[in-house]
Structure 1
Amino acid sequence: MTNTPNSNRQPSQTEHTLTLPDRQIRYQASAAWQTLYEREKPVAEMFHVAYLVEPEAKSDSPRPLTFVFNGGPGAASAYLHMGALGPKRIYFDTNGSLPKPPVRLVDNLESWLSFTDLVFIDPIGTGFSRSLPPDKHGKDGESKDSSDQSGSSHSGESDKPQEIEFWEVERDLRALGEFIQRFLSRQKRWLSPIFIAGESYGGFRVARLARKLQQEFGVGLSGAILISPALEFSLLGGSDYNLTSWATLLPSFAAAAAHHGRAKWAVTPGDLQSHMAAAEAFARKILIPLLATGDAYPVEERQAAYQQLADLIGLPLSVVERQAGRIDIEVFARELLRDQQRIVGLYDASITAIDPFPNRPLYEGSDPTLDGLDRLFTGAINSHLRDTLGIETDLSYYLLNYETFKAWKFDLKGELKQGFIGAVDDLRVGMTLNPYMQVYITHGFFDLVTPYFASNHLADLMRLNPELRPNLTLKHYQGGHMFYTWDDSRQQWFREMGQFYQRAGGEGWGVGSGG
């Protein structure tokens, strides 16, 4: 490209060592902005952090490379970066509960650097990623209005942020595809086994990119990892007429109720897995027919079903009757422990908090499992980038940009399926384009926002060819949306992913290599 952006944003490159119980991993950390182009003109700079390990011995097979991003839309990659995958992580209490201030960083013994190089990407408008201002000079040489460092234009219509161009499904995916393609070229990594990993809406991105990267950008994928994904938006909100989401929530309600001692155990007391299995069977065999039949469902059978539902999810029968079996996540979070004046988290219903307004009819407080995390991840990523990696910038790091979330456009120009946006079709096509690509979908049991049973349900409906079905793995863990904050779950997931990379990326790159 002949066009070069006028940017004073300086990259940083540092050397580090991650000390593990059995070995040391020496790696190079590169924190930098990569330019995105539109018709060969620079339009944005995407911030990223790359951790690249230099193998001790020359190997004929290149080391795997994984591109990582979060969701939102509007979330930076700091959650996976500082919570699970990077060489440093935030210290949480054993069961994922929030520690008292200040934030504490520790060496991450479960860092994926053990088996893959990592590139954490912040989409435009998150982290330090920003649009570039348009040409500041007109044809006559007179200066035009400029943009400030945050990327907010003062000359456009109603002061809209410049990044809004990128806050749309297809433009966002295209930006990620361009970034990945350009990174592979600059780093000469086209022959590496390539993986993509995304959390929440980032899982939606992974499913869409599983097709787009291969079909439009020529990037072959060895593996795609979807972490607490939102795959079909029709499952994110139920109504009187859209029934499936009520059923896919039920097993997570049951898991949370059992965790808090409010459920009547369906099989064996203390056996969480069997209780969740009973909830899954109830959801499929009783709840969906009940909701679908409506008023034609026999009254006595309906009452028996309501009682069984109340027993499974630990709510009073009166609440289940009032909701007619349609239990919203906010209702569940408020009602499960209402007698203790506590609420449960939406993103991790194993975590509770004091209800600040116990006498008001609706819950009016913040969600402790999302809003409570801001102080941890904001402090952690700023310290790590500025102090450890040496980035110098006056930009604010946008951990979760609500302006992005509110402005996001889901218009797919006529490609919506039945009025809703989805990604499973693209995942199916991606798996057929590349019958060697391995796919791993994972959730936390107690996540009410993207419940695990939704992905199980969708996998059962994908109708994958018998040759491809073994390429799809679904595995879920104790915890919530970020189940990796639980020590046991993070450690188990780490071992599972080491095996996954060996299957997907070839022999010799599992846990224990690359030191």
Structure 2
Amino acid sequence: MPESTADTTDAATTGGASNAKAGARGPVTPAWEAPPGASAPMTWAPEGHEPISLTATADWTVLRREESPAAEVFAVSYLATDAAPDRPVTFVFNGGPGASSAYLHVGAIGPRRVVLPDDGSTARMPVRLVDNDASWIADTDLVFIDPVGTGFSRPIPAEPDAGKDAPTYWSYDRDLAAMREFISRWLSRNGRWSAPVFIAGESYGGYRVGRLAWSLPKDEGVGLAGAVLISPALEITPLTFTDYATDPYVDTVPTMAAGAFHHGRCRAPEAADGADAVAAAAAAFATTDYATFLMRGAAVPAEERDAVLSRLADLIGLAPAVVEHLQGRIRIDRWVREILRDRGEVAGLYDVTQTVVDPFPDRVSFEGGDHTLAGSTAAFTMAINHLLRAEIGVETDRQYAVLSYEVNKKWATDEGHHALDAPPGSVDDLRRGLTLNPHLEVLVVHGRHDLVTPLDSSRRMIDLMRLAPATGDRVRVRAYEGGHMFYTLSDSRDAFTADVREFFAACLPAGADDQDH
């Protein structure tokens, strides 16, 4: 059922309780009319798959704060034609904060996919779209959500004489409230409260998934069948590099070692046994001798200090003099600049295997922008605009913001949070969600060459959850070749899709609909 552009659903009918906390909403009134959406029939028919007839609907949903229209959230839904109301539905979003859903939409999960070079390099323009043989549409309807300020989603300014500031959704809790409100409204408008519900998010979107695993059922009554976290940032603080932190340095050493091995710069003896041996050795070293070294600082005896720095330099491929100069604290932006400095090249933050010529080799810092993110922006921007405007038929003068740095820069703490409080994490909420729902299945996936949200950070966080065996069995961790957007590589995309299909089967066991309630 296509979404309506008129937003007349009463909050009481969405399954969410009205409250005074972040995102609380009053009665929904038709005082604000969203832009007109568009709908088009599609047939998903990649080679080797049974064709599926779809309806693609691109539309805006009006969110409200204190009974006033506050934002227009744009989303694209792909619904199998004539499917039963209990067909699974998956809500998909990216992260940033400030990223639209375009990366997962046309890069990995949607029925249509942009064709990118299979070596991870920058695409030649113009790009083209093909039926995505790795799409999840064979198993679930799909809804791609653009958070406020991304894609075609926009905040609605407050009326000039209203006597209050324009509402904002650019903070942790307000953002989650918007996601919850949208999902609840969508289920009501489309008559899908009987469907198994899944959520999937990438990067900061993985953070959203972890938090929603608890708050969606608690605040909206939306029970989840499964949650997929793609290259997730489970916690914010451990990703922040300072001279006094330990976590980010520990978690990135295995990825640096993998990158050093790929580029032929790893000098550790384990390099003779291959990439897996190097990664395992780096993880063991990082969480023991290296972690102790970082925590003790100047208290480490000289002989022990020299041994740790030498081992670190050999594993991550940097010159011993550089590691010594940096006191063993190697930030990711420094490593990508140093690992191939003798070749005049810079490695990628989002994929350490990808390189680019350093445009400013004589300057202290690299000023070219990370090529593994910036280099893909044009491809995703052109692909999503073609899909929305030419294939689905959206007519709007708005610019589609694939990645909004304005949203990212303006991200703020929530009301009631002290400025000195650490940013809230998602791991506690994920633990609560797993406990609240003993049927919830979780899949966490990463690329092995991602320095921004490293695989070993998620592994460590999951270990620190100390889950009971029966609960821990419902959390799967998978890793693939490639970086943050590993799904742009065909082999990794295929492996990911196979794991997701297995995941869906585990979440929806045969006969589940026949059990007594």
TM-score by length of 1: 0.90
Equivalent residue for 1:264?
Answer: 267
**Residue type of the alignment partner of 1:4:** P
Among 38, 44, 68, the residue aligned to 2:71? 44
1:502 aligned partner, one-letter code? A
In the comparison of the two structures, how many residue pairs are matched? 485
Counterpart of 1:106? Answer: 130
Q: Report matched runs for 1:150-229 at 5 Å.
A: 162=166, 165-229=168-232
Q: CA deviation at 1:95?
A: 2.4
The answer to whether structure 1 residue 9 and structure 2 residue 35 are counterparts is yes
Residues 43-82 of structure 1 aligned to structure 2 (within 5 Å): 43-54=70-81, 62-82=86-106
Task: Give the structure 1 partner of residue 59 of structure 2.
Answer: 32
CA contact (8 A) 1:203 1:226 kept: yes
1:286 counterpart letter in structure 2: D
Instruction: Give the TM-score taking structure 2 as reference length.
Output: 0.90
8 Å contact kept, 2:34–2:61: no
Q: Structure 1 residue 310: deviation in Å? A: 1.1
Change (3 A) 1:469 1:26: same
Instruction: State the distance in 2 between where 1:341 and 1:98 align.
Output: 19
Instruction: Report the CA distance shift for 1:353/1:423 in structure 2 as closer, same or farther (over 3 A).
Output: same
Tell me the distance in 1 between the aligned counterparts of 2:428 and 2:477. Answer: 17
Q: Given residue 341 of structure 2, which amino acid in structure 1 is its aligned partner?
A: R
Match 2:111 to one of 67, 80, 87: 87
Cα distance in structure 2, aligned partners of 1:234 and 1:242: 9
1:234 partner amino acid = T
User: In the alignment, does 2:398 pair up with 1:395?
Assistant: yes
- C-alpha deviation, 1:5, in angstroms: 4.1
1:130 aligns with 2:154: yes
User: Are 1:477 and 2:480 an aligned pair?
Assistant: yes
For 1:265-284, list aligned pairs within 5 A.
Answer: 265-267=268-270, 269=272, 271-284=274-287
Q: 1:386 to 1:508 in 2, by over 3 A?
A: farther
Q: Which amino acid counterpart does residue 22 of structure 1 have in structure 2?
A: H
Aligned counterparts of 1:133 and 1:53: Cα–Cα separation in 2: 36
How far 1:55 moved relative to its partner? Answer: 6.0
One-letter code aligned to 1:95:
D
Alignment check: 8 A CA contact 2:158 2:164 kept: no
Cα deviation, 1:276-301, whole Å, max 9, x if unaligned, reads 01100010121001112222222122
* Percentage identity across paired residues of the two chains: 46
- In structure 1, the residue matched to 2:381 is 378
Q: Distance in 1 between matches of 2:155 and 2:237?
A: 32
8 Å contact kept, 1:51–1:117? yes
Q: CA deviation at 1:418?
A: 6.1
Deviates more, 1:120-129 or 1:164-173: 164-173
**Structure-1 residue corresponding to 2:6:** none
CA 399–189 in structure 1, closer or farther in 2 if over 3 Å, else same: same
Cα pair 1:502 1:508 within 8 Å, conserved: no
| Amino acid corresponding to residue 312 of structure 1 in structure 2 | L
Q: Does 1:285 align with 2:288?
A: yes
Q: What stretches of structure 2 of length at least 5 have no aligned partner? A: 1-9, 11-27, 513-517
Q: CA 1:266–1:105 in structure 2 vs 1: closer, same or farther (change >3 Å)? A: farther
Residue equivalent to 2:142 = 118
Distance 1:212 1:8, change over 3 A: closer
Task: Specify which of 378, 403, 408 is matched with residue 405 of structure 1.
Answer: 408
- In the TM superposition, what whole-angstrom CA distance separates every residue of 1:72-110 from its partner, at most 9, and x where no partner exists? 111111111011000111111112222211122222110
Q: Which of 454, 458, 473 lines up with 1:455 in the alignment?
A: 458
Q: Distance in 1 between matches of 2:267 and 2:195?
A: 51
- The answer on whether the counterparts of 2:445 and 2:478 sit within 8 Å (CA) in structure 1 is yes
1-10 or 19-28, which moves further after superposition?
1-10
1:188 is aligned with what amino acid? Answer: G
Name the structure 2 match of 1:241: 244
Does the 8 A contact of 2:239 with 2:247 survive in 1? no
Selected match of 1:335 from 327, 338, 349: 338
Range with bigger deviation, 267-276 or 398-407 = 267-276
Aligned: 1:19 with 2:22: no
Distance in 1 of aligned mates of 2:220 and 2:185: 10
CA distance in 2, matches of 1:252, 1:5: 52
- Give the AA of the match of 1:203: G
Q: 2: distance between equivalents of 1:78 and 1:226?
A: 16
Query: Is the contact made by 1:266 and 1:274 (CA closer than 8 Å) also made in structure 2?
Result: no
Per the alignment, in what secondary structure is the counterpart of residue 376 of structure 2? helix
Deviation at 1:413, TM superposition (A): 2.4
User: 1-side partners of 2:306 and 2:202: how far apart?
Assistant: 39
Which secondary structure does the structure 2 equivalent of 1:232 belong to? coil
Report 1 or 2 for greater relative contact order, CA contacts < 8 Å, sequence distance ≥ 6.
1
**Larger displacement relative to structure 2 (29-38 or 7-16):** 7-16
Q: Is the Cα contact below 8 Å between 1:4 and 1:42 reproduced in 2?
A: no
- Residue by residue, what CA displacement relative to the aligned partner does 1:171-202 show, whole Å, maximum 9, x if unpaired? 11111101100111111111111011111111
RMSD over aligned Cα atoms = 2.1
CA contact 1:95–1:487 (8 Å) conserved in 2: no
Shift of 1:122: 0.6
CA distance in 2, matches of 1:375, 1:181: 33
Could you tell me how far 1:234 is from its partner in structure 2?
1.6
8 Å CA contact 2:123, 2:376 repeated in 1: no
Counterpart CA distance in 2 for 1:222 and 1:274 is: 36
Conserved 8 A contact 2:268-2:311? no
Listed as ranges, the gaps of 5+ residues in structure 1 are: 139-143, 145-154, 510-515
Does the aligned pair in 2 maintain the 1:88–1:105 contact within 8 Å? Answer: yes
The residue type equivalent to 1:287 in the other structure is Y
Shift of 1:270: 6.0
Q: Which AA in structure 1 matches 2:492? A: S
Pair 1:3–1:135, CA change in 2 (3 A): farther
- CA-CA distance at 1:416 after TM superposition: 8.8
Q: Give the match for residue 148 of structure 1.
A: none
